[in-house]
Amino acid sequence: MENFQEMITQAAEMKEYELKKDRKQFESLPNYLKTGLNYSKKYEQLRLQHFAFQIFVSDCLKNEGNEQVAQQSYEEALAKYEEALAVFRWIDTATNQNLKDSDLRYNKYEPEEEHRASLDGHLSKLYLNICLCLTKLNRKEEAIAATEEVIRMEPDNAKAYYRKGQAYVQYINREETDVKEGLKWLERSYEISKDPQLLNEMQAIRRKVVEERHKAKKAFSFIINNGVKPSVEPTSAVKDNENLPV
């Protein structure tokens, strides 16, 4: 019976692998965009309504996400932000089974020109909040992708560069290259905002790097001399001084 169940599992995995090869474009998307497939039909009628009503509904979902962030429930908050985003970015499909890239159509709501700035501002907030949650959940690459969505719309958005930097330096498995890249984007944020707090934060990050190097060197020396790794408390991620949603 166990061998039969194992064969069934392997067959299902092989089928899923083959299907994924037929939807490479979809699989390459960050999850916050893939989620748009789940809400294609739910907000179909809403997208026909006046722009102000669409913003209102999306903003209500965003506020629900903010409440979850306040409780540090980042998975739940992320789900709300993704749903709010799906009002304006969604994926249509002609079938619900064995999806292929050829079955999918990617949509972006195109407002009238007078509403363009309002929509871009709203989407920027959603992407920044998505980034915040993904950083807290240690999903670095998706968090960075979310900030790049903002930077494409608003190249001088200081908070986008700040959150991009935080995605690197707060990554639990970060290496020195992550810290270096994170500092680069924090410096870019400072160039735009001139926020003196950023200077203090960057100094704190550099001190943290020195401490981590010292601990790693000490641990390695202990292993060489004793053959046993010492009990060392893991270093905490750098505190995000702007870890509130927008």
**d(C-alpha 231, C-alpha 228), whole Å:** 9
Flag whether pLDDT at 129 surpasses 70: yes
Distance CA 51, CA 118 (A): 10
The predicted-structure confidence for 64-97, as pLDDT tens digits, reads as follows: 999 999 999 999 999 999 999 999 999 998 776 7
Least confident of 43-52, 102-111, 164-173, 210-219: 210-219
Q: How far apart are CA 126 and CA 139, in angstroms?
A: 17
Q: Which two tokens stand for residue 24?
A: 């490479």
Its sign, for the CA torsion 96, 100, 104, 106, is positive
Determine the angle formed by the axes of helices 176-193 and 158-169, rounding to 10 degrees. 160
What proportions of the chain, in percent to the nearest 5, are helix, strand and coil? 70, 5, 25
Environment class of 225 (CB within 10 Å of its CB; exposed 0-12, middle 13-18, buried 19+) = exposed
pLDDT of the residue at 122: 98
Collapse the DSSP code of 23 into the 3-class scheme (helix H, G, I; strand E, B; otherwise coil) and give the result: coil
136 backbone dihedrals φ, ψ, rounded to 5°? -65, -30
Residue 119 is predicted with a pLDDT of: 97
Q: How far is CA 205 from the centre of its chain?
A: 21
pTM beyond 0.85: no
- Tell me what pLDDT residue 216 has: 66
Contact 109, 89 (CB under 8 A): yes
Is residue 146's pLDDT more than 70?
yes
Which pLDDT value is given to residue 228? 56
Average pLDDT over residues 150-167: 97
